[in-house]
């Protein structure tokens, strides 16, 4: 019998071939080019080998069934083709291979013993029967939309035929993942069994007369819920088209092409439908949005999650005990993610009551996991027991790291630094979670500035995946490496930046809020400002986000900045409006009163805002052909204001890695994901065109749009940021 590199085959006495999917040298199975080359051969073996009566495909790895396609492999083969035909042929490989398995004439079952996402789930959908283990860690889903794509291995055709267009479209456009029992309830899989018995259950189905024909290959097959010309089915597309426009604002070609593939595909036999899917998949893959999102949200994220910017030559560390000082929502969130990573945590606050309140928040988050079956009671007790709430600084002894998460006040932070460092052993790291105060200045309170570093978490910590690591002037390489080891252990994505007021993320994000305030001062309607903000692809409008951040925080930061800068301080746009709102008790979402009133649901704009910022500008009627539309102008202002600040950060040396700049922007403050990030936005726009547009904005609205000389020099040379980038400078240092 033929042997395979990525599949191990064992045929039992009943003639059932158990095929263990096991890509060598990888902790998780993915659909690599090698796997894709072997799948047709595997299908042919099942079909032609007379000793095989049926097959069970399972994973040979404990980590999961299959995490999907290797996008690096895949995109290179399809986008790099010499012609559309080459691209289609490359894209068809997976559909052709899976269709060969589906039509091999023998029953094939999937024994899903780990997560099956993207192409991994599509592989199981091409099997005639699907059984999954009852394991809360297993996820089943088609998340391709999150990287600017849609399922290209039959998912757009098989899933609607299984569960109906409406349910399938919702699952695919949201990138939704299902737990095994939910997947069974939805009709995606057939059976859920005790973990570890998946293969036996799959074998039992085959031995019980399992049918070797997919439902859609039966002559009497009818589309669940009806097709596009069925009285019920047509509603899916009428409503679905509107919903996609509402959710994406036209920024994501993948969502519209997904619906087109489903709409056209379910009207024809499956073989033609799969060709339709491949055509739309290739069309989507070739869009700038998909290429940008794949690079930033998949390839760059993978590299950074593996420590791509970690200084070379520093031995790996494994933090076992970490102290968090400040048990508010931020500190408690940090304590929770540490506990989940198996780190002993000391949670300190000024009073025992405050410390206990922080631990109670940890308990609340753990209880959610317990209620979902993601933790056993024994594991819950152990994790909660690993967090000690206290006021006693002596308990810091033995900590590998301290994370300070106290109030944004230089004096308070200095006092905490001195008290904590007195308990730390040599080589232990002190990290400040400040979001705005320069690390070099805070490190002046330290007796060991080489071990002092910024560790900026984002709220809520349990959900936000980014951690911004900030280097002070004297921060040493050992401190950088140890901090990166810590961030990777708690399963967050790190970026490393140099010191600056507001660092990278807070500094650049604030420009989105400030441009919204500038529009408000100009007389644009608040509702229009926020609607345009969402149209750019940002998660919320600038006024909404300002409420979320907290107006009183902006007010306090402005006061601290004014004290620090003295005569050099220039008030931000709308500072007077914010000051009056805060002084009137409007702090934002946290106290239910900001630009919006939150007592009513849905929230409503605060009526009093019209007195502080009267509306004097309105969108005109249809514009003359070729005119730069007013809505487009406002959208451009919001995106360019942020991108120009990112370019300034680059020129000043705050950030020097395009991967960190782009991913930090998307994960840190929600910069429009469809762009791939601000650096990719500049690159794809073209440096010369970007500078030209920014110059026009600067001439019209002010120097806040003035580009740094760096961009002019790069534009003159025809350069791009990614074209100049040859690996992380920090890693090579």
At residue 625, does pLDDT exceed 70? no
Per-residue confidence (pLDDT) for residue 77, from 0 to 100: 52
Could you say which DSSP state residue 388 is in?
A: E
Angstrom distance (rounded) from CA 356 to CA 340: 18
**Arithmetic mean of pLDDT over the chain:** 93
Per-residue confidence (pLDDT) for residue 627, from 0 to 100: 45
At residue 73, does pLDDT exceed 80? no
**pLDDT classification of 78: cutoffs 50, 70, 90:** low
* Residue 226 three-state SS: coil
Q: List the structure tokens of 484.
A: 């990166």
Compute and round to an integer the Cα radius of gyration of the chain.
28
At residue 455, does pLDDT exceed 80? yes
40 in Cβ contact with 79 (< 8 Å): no
* 313 lies in some domain: no
Shared-domain flag, residues 518 and 420: no
Last residue of a domain, one of 216, 241, 274: 216
Last residue of a domain, one of 147, 181, 216: 216
Shared-domain flag, residues 47 and 172: yes
Last residue of a domain, one of 166, 190, 216: 216
Q: List the structure tokens of 593.
A: 């009163």
* 185 lies in some domain: yes
Q: How far is CA 414 from CA 224, 232, 434, 507, in A?
A: 65, 66, 12, 23
Q: How far is CA 390 from CA 24, 76, 678, in A?
A: 47, 54, 43
One-character DSSP codes across 142-210: --GGGGT----SSHHHHHHHHH-HHHHHHHHHHT-EE-HHHHHHHTS-SEEE-TT-HHHHHHHHHHTT-
Shared-domain flag, residues 184 and 99: yes
Angstrom distance (rounded) from CA 511 to CA 272: 49
Query: Quick one: which of 503, 530, 682 has its CA closest to 603?
Result: 530
Per-residue confidence (pLDDT) for residue 731, from 0 to 100: 38
- The percentage of residues in the chain with a pLDDT greater than 90, rounded to a whole number, is 84
Per-residue confidence (pLDDT) for residue 271, from 0 to 100: 97
At residue 79, does pLDDT exceed 80? no
Q: How far is CA 591 from CA 547, 552, 585, 588, in A?
A: 10, 10, 9, 6
**CATH no. for residue 44?**
3.90.226.10
- Kindly report the CA angle at 650 between 646 and 652, in degrees rounded to 5? 115
At residue 632, does pLDDT exceed 70? yes
**pLDDT classification of 624: cutoffs 50, 70, 90:** low
Mean pLDDT value across residues 7-28: 96
Length of the chain: 733
Helices (H), strands (E): how many in the chain? Answer: 32, 19
Per-residue confidence (pLDDT) for residue 111, from 0 to 100: 98
Number of domains in the chain: 3
Hey, which residues are catalytic here? 456
**pLDDT tens digit sequence for 682-710:** 999 999 999 999 999 999 999 999 999 99
Shared-domain flag, residues 610 and 664: yes
* 401-404 vs 321-325, strand pairing mode: parallel
At residue 311, does pLDDT exceed 50? yes
At residue 408, does pLDDT exceed 90? no
512 in Cβ contact with 538 (< 8 Å): yes
Q: How far is CA 15 from CA 53, 55, 206, in A?
A: 5, 8, 10
454 forms bridges with which residues in the sheet? 432, 470
Angstrom distance (rounded) from CA 272 to CA 103: 15
Q: List the structure tokens of 710.
A: 């760096």
* 518 lies in some domain: yes
Give buried/exposed letters for 652-663 (b at 16+ CB in 10 A, else e): eebbbbbbbbbb
Mean pLDDT value across residues 177-194: 97
Shared-domain flag, residues 550 and 456: no
Angstrom distance (rounded) from CA 551 to CA 568: 23
Shared-domain flag, residues 422 and 517: no
Q: List the structure tokens of 330.
A: 């931020």
227 vs 708: which has the higher pLDDT:
708
Q: H/E element holding 549?
A: helix 542-549
**pLDDT classification of 623: cutoffs 50, 70, 90:** low
Mean pLDDT value across residues 613-627: 72
Per-residue confidence (pLDDT) for residue 622, from 0 to 100: 58
Q: List the structure tokens of 43.
A: 């299908």
Q: What share of the chain is helix, strand, coil (3-state, %, to 5)?
A: 55, 10, 35
- List the end-to-end C-alpha distance of the chain, in Å, as a whole number: 51
**CATH no. for residue 447?**
3.40.50.720
Query: Quick one: which of 47, 247, 252 has its CA closest to 150?
Result: 252
* 501 lies in some domain: no
Q: List the structure tokens of 595.
A: 């630009």
Give the domain range for residue 396.
321-478
* 240 lies in some domain: no
At residue 82, does pLDDT exceed 70? no
Q: List the structure tokens of 558.
A: 């402005």
* 221 lies in some domain: no
* 82 lies in some domain: yes
Shared-domain flag, residues 660 and 568: yes
Mean pLDDT value across residues 541-568: 89
* 627 lies in some domain: yes
**pLDDT tens digit sequence for 46-62:** 999 999 999 999 999 98
At residue 733, does pLDDT exceed 50? no
Shared-domain flag, residues 42 and 167: yes
Shared-domain flag, residues 430 and 557: no
**pLDDT classification of 307: cutoffs 50, 70, 90:** very high
Q: List the structure tokens of 611.
A: 């007195």
Per-residue confidence (pLDDT) for residue 732, from 0 to 100: 35
One-character DSSP codes across 89-136: HHHHHHHHHHHHHHTSSS-EEEEE-S-EETHHHHHHHTSSEEEEE--T
Per-residue confidence (pLDDT) for residue 726, from 0 to 100: 64
Q: List the structure tokens of 388.
A: 């000690």
Shared-domain flag, residues 472 and 549: no
At residue 620, does pLDDT exceed 90? no
Q: Determine which of 127-136, 249-258, 362-371, 724-733 has the lowest per-residue pLDDT on average.
A: 724-733
Per-residue confidence (pLDDT) for residue 626, from 0 to 100: 46
**pLDDT tens digit sequence for 329-373:** 999 999 999 999 999 999 999 999 999 999 999 999 999 999 988
Shared-domain flag, residues 37 and 170: yes
The set of long-range contacts for 611-619, using a CB threshold of 8 Å and a minimum separation of 24, is 612/577, 612/580, 612/581, 613/520, 613/521, 613/523, 613/526, 613/577, 614/523, 615/523, 615/524, 615/525, 615/526, 616/522, 616/523, 617/522, 617/523, 617/524, 617/525, 618/525, 619/528
Q: List the structure tokens of 247.
A: 């959710």
Angstrom distance (rounded) from CA 458 to CA 448: 26
* Residue 494 three-state SS: strand
Shared-domain flag, residues 350 and 206: no
Query: Quick one: which of 141, 239, 237 has its CA closest to 186?
Result: 141
Q: List the structure tokens of 105.
A: 């004439």
Angstrom distance (rounded) from CA 435 to CA 445: 18
**pLDDT tens digit sequence for 86-138:** 888 888 999 999 999 999 999 999 999 999 999 999 999 999 999 999 998 89
**pLDDT classification of 75: cutoffs 50, 70, 90:** low
């Amino acid at each position: 019998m033929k042997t395979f590199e990525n599949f191990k085959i064992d045929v039992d006495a009943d003639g059932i071939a158990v095929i263990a999917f096991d890509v060598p040298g990888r902790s998780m199975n993915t659909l690599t080019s090698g796997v894709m080359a072997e799948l047709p051969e595997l299908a042919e073996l099942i079909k032609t080998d007379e000793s095989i009566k049926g097959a069970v495909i399972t994973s040979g790895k404990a980590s999961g069934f299959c995490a999907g396609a290797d996008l690096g492999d895949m995109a290179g083969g399809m986008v790099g083709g010499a012609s559309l035909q080459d691209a289609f042929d490359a894209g068809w490989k997976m559909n052709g291979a899976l269709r060969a398995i589906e039509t091999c004439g023998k029953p094939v079952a999937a024994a899903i013993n780990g997560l099956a996402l993207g192409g991994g789930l599509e592989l199981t959908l091409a099997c005639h029967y699907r059984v999954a283990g009852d394991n809360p860690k297993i996820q089943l889903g088609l998340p391709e939309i999150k990287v600017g794509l849609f399922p290209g291995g039959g998912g757009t055709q098989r899933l609607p035929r299984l569960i109906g267009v409406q349910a399938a479209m919702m699952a695919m456009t949201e990138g939704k993942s299902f737990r095994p029992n939910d997947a069974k309830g939805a009709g995606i899989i057939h059976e859920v069994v005790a973990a570890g018995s998946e293969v036996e259950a799959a074998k039992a189905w085959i031995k019980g007369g399992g049918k070797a024909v997919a439902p859609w290959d039966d002559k009497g097959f009818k589309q669940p819920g009806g097709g596009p010309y069925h009285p019920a089915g047509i509603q899916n597309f009428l409503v679905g088209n509107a919903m996609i426009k509402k959710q994406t604002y036209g920024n994501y070609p993948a969502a519209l092409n997904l619906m087109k593939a489903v709409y056209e595909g379910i009207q024809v036999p499956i073989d033609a439908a799969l060709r339709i899917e491949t055509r739309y998949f290739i069309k989507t893959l070739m869009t700038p949005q998909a290429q940008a999102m794949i690079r930033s949200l998949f390839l760059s994220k993978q590299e950074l999650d593996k420590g791509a910017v970690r200084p070379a030559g520093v031995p790996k560390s494994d933090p076992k005990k970490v102290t968090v000082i400040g048990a508010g929502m931020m500190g408690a969130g940090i304590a929770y993610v540490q506990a989940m990573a198996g780190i002993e945590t000391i949670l300190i606050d000024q009073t025992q009551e405050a410390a206990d309140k922080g631990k109670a928040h940890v308990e609340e988050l753990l209880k959610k996991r317990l209620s979902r079956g993601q933790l056993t009671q024994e594991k819950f007790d152990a994790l909660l027991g690993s967090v000690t709430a206290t006021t006693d600084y002596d308990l810091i002894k033995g900590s590998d790291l301290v994370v300070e998460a106290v109030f944004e006040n230089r004096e308070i932070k200095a006092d905490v630094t001195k008290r904590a460092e007195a308990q730390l052993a040599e080589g232990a790291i002190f990290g400040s979670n400040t979001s705005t105060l320069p690390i070099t200045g805070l490190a002046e309170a330290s007796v060991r500035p080489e071990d002092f570093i910024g560790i900026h978490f984002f709220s809520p910590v349990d959900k936000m995946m980014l951690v911004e690591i900030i280097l002070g002037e004297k921060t040493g390489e050992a401190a950088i490496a140890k901090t990166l080891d810590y961030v990777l252990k708690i399963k967050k994505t790190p970026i490393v930046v140099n010191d600056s007021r507001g660092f990278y993320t807070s500094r650049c994000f604030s420009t989105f809020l400030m441009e919204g305030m500038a529009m408000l001062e100009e007389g644009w309607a608040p509702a229009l400002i926020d609607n345009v903000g969402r149209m750019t692809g940002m998660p919320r409008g600038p006024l909404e986000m300002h409420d979320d951040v907290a107006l009183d925080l902006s007010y306090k930061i402005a006061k601290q900045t004014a004290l620090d800068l003295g005569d050099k301080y220039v008030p931000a746009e709308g500072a007077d409006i914010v000051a009056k709102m805060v002084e009137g008790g409007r702090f934002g979402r946290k106290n239910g009163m900001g630009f919006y009133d939150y007592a009513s649901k849905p929230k409503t704009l605060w009526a009093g805002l019209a007195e502080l910022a009267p509306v004097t500008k309105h969108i005109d009627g249809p514009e003359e052909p070729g005119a730069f539309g007013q809505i487009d102008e406002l959208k451009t202002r919001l995106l360019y204001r942020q991108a120009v600040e990112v370019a300034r950060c680059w020129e000043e040396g705050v950030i020097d890695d395009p991967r960190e700049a782009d991913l930090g922007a998307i994960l840190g403050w929600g910069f429009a994901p469809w762009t791939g990030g601000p650096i990719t936005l500049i690159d794809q726009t073209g440096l010369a065109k970007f500078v030209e547009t920014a110059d026009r904005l600067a001439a019209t609205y002010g120097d806040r749009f003035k580009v740094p000389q760096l961009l002019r020099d790069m534009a003159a040379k025809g350069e791009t940021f990614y074209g100049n980038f040859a690996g992380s400078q920090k890693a090579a240092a």
